[in-house]
Chains A and B, each alone.
Chain A
Amino acid sequence: MTREDLSGLERNVLTTTVERMLAWARSSSVWPVQFGLACCAIEMIATTTSKFDIARFGMEAFRASPRQSDLMIVAGRVSQKMAPVLRHIYDQMLEPKWVLSMGDCASCGGVYNNYALVQGVDKIVPVDVYVAGCPPRPEALLYGLMKLQEKIRERARAGGGR
């Protein structure tokens, strides 16, 4: 091959690892499961609407079935009665899966500290991103989702699985 052919090769061929390519694909199209519980769910719905537009991140496809989704945004307070249901839905999701705890009640119990609520959903499921706020603004949720995308790509860059 001539020198011109080799320099053309550098401009037109990209090399990467399989993990990084998968991470790029996965982070660009995370599908959340519909898991709006309380007030944060309304701000989550507002994030999907035209002013804040979650579709620019590829996440507008909120699936009703956990088997078709990658991300569980726990939006709202988790009561003791709902906790087994939450775990059940989480278990039905396929790997790779992530959990974003939206709002104060899901992150740490929020304004409530009593018999009825689970003080933080990380007691039940492993959480990847916590978004604080009561309720967090849609911009805050979008920032949390961007952090999640970074996390997915970082893991791959560091050589990890997911």
Chain B
Amino acid sequence: MEPSQGLEQVNSLPGRGREVAGGLARETLTINMGPQHPSTHGVLRLVLELEGEVIVSCQPVIGYLHTGIEKEMEHRTYHQNIPLVDRIEYLSSYHEELAYCMAVEKLLGVEVPKRAQYIRVILCELNRIASHLVWLGTTGIDLNVSSLLMYCFRDRERILEMSEMVSGQRMMPGYFRIGGVAEDLPDEFFPAVRQFLDEFPRRLDEYEAMLTDNLVWRRRHEGVAVLSREDALRYGVTGPTLRGSGVAYDVRKAFPYSSYEDFEFDVPTGENGDAFDRYRVRMEEMRQARRIVLQALDRLPGGPVITDDRKVALPPRRELVRSMEAVIHQFKLVSEGIHPPKGEVYAAVESPRGEKGYYIVSDGSNRPVRVRVRAPSFSNLQALPAMVRGGMLADVVVAIASIDIVLGDVDR
């Protein structure tokens, strides 16, 4: 039975709902796909109403990972917030930091040096590949292709090693600063990236050979969890989930930031809006991300990696022994922080899940008045009930996996 036929067949049966027909009462079954579940990709709770195996309605219950980060950020200075934002969308920390730093830089009106912009692009695109590998691995393990998890995480380990070379941390780097990045890239980074990028297309070809023409994979993904173009726009869905439904909106192309306009890359879109199209979109995005990193590495300009505005960025160490002003700037920045002008800004990046935006309101003091995180997973998850209605129970797992949510982003 095709998923879309399920609801019609059910509706045509006599005695639908609580009516009594022939002495028998019919009612739907309400089950809980609880916060602790292997396939919900985190602490997500779904209350599903089933008629047999067919989903009548699905209500997500979120908030099990609510951390109060937005309130916490109001009590810290702008620099102290950078390690906090890492932990919101924890699979794509570089994108979070970039969005936050871009918003504060926009508020200050400070210019980021070109080399720092290129470094940010390189790390963000590597992070995109890493995040999509986690998506692929966890989708595989949800569909019982458990060796895929091992393969994908093996490749992801290479990227985490590179992140460790650059920032000292595998995840949650805390590497971007307001006005640039903390330090320049180390020398051992470049051969490691090049070697990884040389081998990566062959790995992707292996995964695609295993999956794209695989009968089981296609049957579980094609026609499943369809999100129409209209529904996607109504719910504010962005990212690969929107592009799988045929809308070619990518923040990197629509509102270019951090020198993305210097690079040539394609934005893949799907047609049918089903899980298979989203899979194809993400696989192709990994190839395009590799293309961007290669271009950025080839054209990496020299120069400083952080702005030289002393009211925003710390002075370099060697100046501290010579200049009294440098010492005062250092003291002020560390003890008080920056003082952006009064106002509000919105800045957005294209994270692996969609448009990640930061809306920051400042009153001129050293702490933000309001930091609002526009979470792509929050809007994408809102579209889940529309995707799974009329489908089978097993398709809910595929639907959640294909939206690629991060609960830290949904609940903040």
Contacts and interface: CB of A to CB of B under 8 A. Distances in A.
Closest 4 CB pairs of A and B: A116-B68, A39-B90, A49-B153, A114-B68
A112 B67 contact: yes
16 contacts: A33-B36, A36-B42, A39-B171, A39-B408, A45-B153, A50-B154, A51-B153, A64-B37, A77-B67, A79-B66, A81-B64, A85-B36, A111-B84, A111-B87, A112-B67, A112-B69
A117 B149 CA distance: 31
B403 interface: no
Interface string A48-76: 01110000000000001010000000001
A50 B151 CA distance: 8
A43 to B, nearest CB: 7
Given A64-B37, A111-B83, 19 more contacts: A33-B36, A34-B36, A37-B42, A37-B43, A38-B407, A39-B90, A45-B149, A45-B153, A46-B153, A64-B38, A76-B65, A79-B64, A81-B63, A85-B43, A112-B67, A112-B72, A116-B67, A116-B71, A117-B68
Nearest to B151: A50
Most A CB atoms within 10 A — which of B64, B138, B170? B64
A46 B91 CA distance: 13
Contacts of A66: 36
Interface of A: 33-39, 41-43, 45-46, 49-51, 64, 66, 76-77, 79-82, 85, 89, 111-117, 134-135, 137
B150 interface: yes
Interface residues of B, number: 36
B172 interface: yes
A38 B65 contact: yes
Nearest to A85: B35
B306 to A, nearest CB: 24
A46 B157 contact: yes
B65 A114 contact: no
Interface string B127-155: 00000001000100000000001100110
B64 A85 contact: yes
Contacts of B37: 64
B52 interface: no
A150 to B, nearest CB: 26
B170 A137 contact: yes
Nearest to A63: B38
A39 B172 contact: yes
Contacts of A37: 42-43, 65
Nearest to B62: A81
Contacts of B150: 49-50
Contacts of B34: 85
B90 A38 contact: yes
Contacts of B83: 111
B190 to A, nearest CB: 23
B155 to A, nearest CB: 10
B375 to A, nearest CB: 14
A56 to B, nearest CB: 14
Contacts of A51: 153-154, 157
B304 to A, nearest CB: 30
B274 interface: no
Contact of A34 (B38, B91, B134, B138): B38
Contacts of B149: 45, 49
Contacts of B43: 37, 82, 85
A43 B171 contact: yes
A116 to B, nearest CB: 4
B355 interface: no
A80 B153 CA distance: 31
Contact of A50 (B84, B138, B153): B153
Contacts of B285: none
A33 B34 CA distance: 14
B410 to A, nearest CB: 11
A115 B37 CA distance: 26
B250 interface: no
Nearest to B84: A111
A73 to B, nearest CB: 12
B65 A77 contact: yes
Interface string B12-45: 0000000000000000000000111110001100
